Structure 1
């Protein structure tokens, strides 16, 4: 009952706070899951992804088109998870990764539409821009995991293990690349992996400039309409 009331309290004035907290919790849980043990990592991570699904649905339900698609993605993801657990079909891993990427991409698109392109800039929208950054890193992490599924030796420092066990490492490498830190402990080897990595670095460089200019532009437009 308390969880239901919490979700009901999510509105257009605070929805991105909940979304950002859910994404941060997902990143933290992926790291903590490794402490539990390899047999539990996939399940713990899957539980947190389901929680993120629920919070994202509640946070972005104001975008009707995305909320309908989110229901479809969530249903397919749950079915794929059950099939994976029951029949242990390897191809389900790739399907689950593709569904997860679609989820992050759709969430990014819906959030960007609400944050960057209209309305007055407030604290909720600033937090939303943080959520956009987290979603970028998570999308690229999923892409890296898909690459590893088909090319296990595409990266040095990333082992060809289950995506649940590898998610934390892929997310770490993704955000290190997105922020252009480049520690070097994980490196791309295959040509495809190298292209994907430098594309993420380019996006990371331009992200802040694009977000700041969009927020300023939206705020000025809102003020002009009010003053006009």
Structure 2
């Protein structure tokens, strides 16, 4: 794994997390949360290996990982339900930090290769995952924010939240899950706006970076 193929592994890890979240729903309720944590930890490890070239991000991730493990241990020992919200916030921070690191490496920077194109796919997946975590956090505080999505444990709801997030991000809008509360509606239409502009921003950045690289190479 090097700087020429690191985004390939990262994208596979994110896809694996989404698929794993779907499979989690078919196992027993007792093992559900632990299985999802396992998929998340695996994604952490792949991200650490894939983005180790960004030193600032690496330091942030090591701190985040240590805190996340501590929260898991505290919840397992003391069975404090509020730790679920803390874990969701840490997961959101992980996705956001990863998004920021990838964006610095691929947007408006140098020659565009296959690895950068795959990195733009990883950015899109991270956008959907960040909003999915935001919906899960909202459900922790306001269980009736959505129709079609029950107020159950976040482990059980992860796949539903991810499904709704990507349906919104791509502006498909099937309607089987809908926001009800005003705050939920604001978060949903903000995601739809980001989804509309994402492609234009990423494509323009990749094209302009490639043109600038060619000009510098020829001139």
Alignment-derived partner of residue 5 in structure 1: none
Map 1:88-127 onto structure 2 (within 5 A): 88-127=79-118
* Structure 1 residues 87-141: Cα deviation after superposition (integer angstroms, max 9, x where no partner): 1101100100000000000000000111112111000000000000000000000
2:39 to 42, 48, 52: 48
* Structure 1 residues 53-97: Cα deviation after superposition (integer angstroms, max 9, x where no partner): 010011111110000000000111111111112211011001000
Alignment-derived partner of residue 3 in structure 1: none
Alignment-derived partner of residue 59 in structure 1: 50
Alignment-derived partner of residue 182 in structure 2: 191
Alignment-derived partner of residue 162 in structure 2: 171
**2:95 & 2:103 partners in 1: Cα distance?**
12
SS in 1 for 2:26: helix
Runs of 4+ in 1 over 3 A off after TM superposition: none
Are 2:149 and 1:153 equivalent residues in the alignment?
no
**1:22 & 1:76 partners in 2: Cα distance?**
21
* Structure 1 residues 35-59: Cα deviation after superposition (integer angstroms, max 9, x where no partner): 1121111100000100100100111
Structure 1 runs not aligned, ≥5 long:
1-9
Alignment-derived partner of residue 141 in structure 1: 132
**1:31 & 1:182 partners in 2: Cα distance?**
20
SS in 2 for 1:118: coil
For normalisation by structure 2, the TM-score amounts to 0.99
**1:25 & 1:89 partners in 2: Cα distance?**
29
Alignment-derived partner of residue 14 in structure 1: 5
For normalisation by structure 1, the TM-score amounts to 0.95
CA-based RMSD: 0.6
SS in 2 for 1:36: coil
Structure 2 runs not aligned, ≥5 long:
none
**2:76 & 2:208 partners in 1: Cα distance?**
48
Paired residue total? 219
